Amino acid sequence: MKTETKRASQVPPVTRNTVQRTLVLQAVQSLCNHPTSADVYDVVRSHYPNISRATVYRNLGVLAKRGDVLRVEVPNGADRYDFHNEPHYHVQCRLCGNIYDVDMPPLDDLAQRIVDTHGFKIESHQIIFEGICPSCQN
C-alpha cells in the first residue's frame, strides 16, 4: 500500500508565522487611518529595511483573507487596510482622497431589498460615501 502523505489533498496549507508577517500586521494596527500598502511598507521598512514590496502585498492579502485586517478597495486609488475588522462603511473625501469610518450600523438586511436578484447569490456588500471632509471645506 502506498504510504499516506502527511496531508490530505483538501487540507489547507499551514500558515507560518514569519517575522515579516508579524511586522505587517503590527504596522496596520499602528496606523489608524486606513493606510495604503505603501504606508504599511514604509513603516515595516523602518524596522526591517530589507523587506520586499511583494512580501508586504502578499501578507496584506493573507491577513485580509484570515480576517485579521480589513481590505477596503476604494475608487481611484490604492487599496486601504484597516485594523478595525468588524464590518462597517466608509466615506472618502472627494478632494483629498482620505478615507474615514462612517458611524452607522451595518444594514444586514440590505440584500433582501433587492427586487429581483436574477439568480445571483448575494454574499456581502460595501457602501462608500463621497463628500468633503472638514479640513477640505475651507
Partner DNA sequence: GTATCTAATGATAAACAATCCTAATAGACT
Partner DNA sequence: AGTCTATTAGGATTGTTTATCATTAGATAC
Q: How many residues would you count in the chain?
A: 138
Query: Which residues in this chain contact a second copy in the complex, by CB under 8 A?
Result: 73, 75-76, 91, 93-94, 100, 102-104, 110-111, 113-134, 137
Q: Is 129 left (phi over 0), alpha (psi -120 to 50) or beta?
A: beta
58 sits near DNA (criterion: CB under 7 A): yes
Which entry of DNA, a second copy, none binds 100, CB below 5 to 8 A by partner kind? Answer: a second copy
Distance between CA 120 and CA 112 in Å, rounded?
12
Identity of the residue, 1 or 54, whose beta carbon is nearer to DNA in the bound complex: 54
The piece of 15-23, 83-91, 104-112, 116-124 that touches DNA (CB under 7 A) is 15-23
Site for DNA in 80-119 (CB under 7 A): none
Distance between CA 35 and CA 33 in Å, rounded?
6
70, 31 in Cβ contact below 8 A? no
